[in-house]
């Protein structure tokens, strides 16, 4: 009977995995401070191999999940655009931080704060 109860509890636990839809409402730049933003991003498996991509208005770039699958927090990293690295962390409460590191010329970073929701 305990085995059945344990299995039912596991079945009721939601899978916490891709895809994610993220909405960032604050953008911070070291030189300019923070301001309101309306930046959208998605973490998706956009090919048949199951590879992950971070999709924004700038396009889709490959990312790797740095944390265990199906668990939060979830952290993804990629270097899709020349001279840019991306790091996204989604916390247990679904708050999210996305930092873009620019290293083509002068080094700079922009950090976005927002939330992510699982896409169905």
The phi, psi pair for 13, rounded to 5°, reads: -75, 125
State the DSSP H helix or E strand holding residue 93, giving kind and residue range, or none if neither. Answer: none
Cβ(63)–Cβ(53) below 8 Å = yes
User: What would the pLDDT profile of 50-96 be if each residue is shown by its tens digit?
Assistant: 899 999 988 899 999 999 988 999 999 999 778 899 999 999 999 99
- Output the pLDDT for position 16: 59
User: What would the pLDDT profile of 26-39 be if each residue is shown by its tens digit?
Assistant: 999 988 999 999 99
pLDDT at 5 over 50: no
């Amino acid at each position: 009977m305990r085995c059945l109860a344990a299995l039912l509890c596991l079945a009721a636990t939601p899978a916490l995995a891709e895809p994610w839809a993220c909405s960032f409402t604050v953008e911070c730049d070291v030189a300019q401070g923070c301001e309101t933003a309306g930046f959208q991003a998605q973490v998706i498996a956009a090919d048949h191999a199951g590879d992950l991509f971070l999709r924004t208005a700038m396009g889709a770039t490959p990312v790797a999940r740095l944390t265990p699958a199906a668990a939060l927090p979830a952290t993804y990293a990629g270097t899709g655009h020349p001279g840019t690295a991306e790091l996204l962390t989604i916390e247990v409460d679904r708050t999210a931080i996305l930092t873009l590191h620019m290293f083509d010329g002068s080094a700079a970073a922009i950090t976005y704060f927002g939330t992510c929701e699982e896409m169905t």
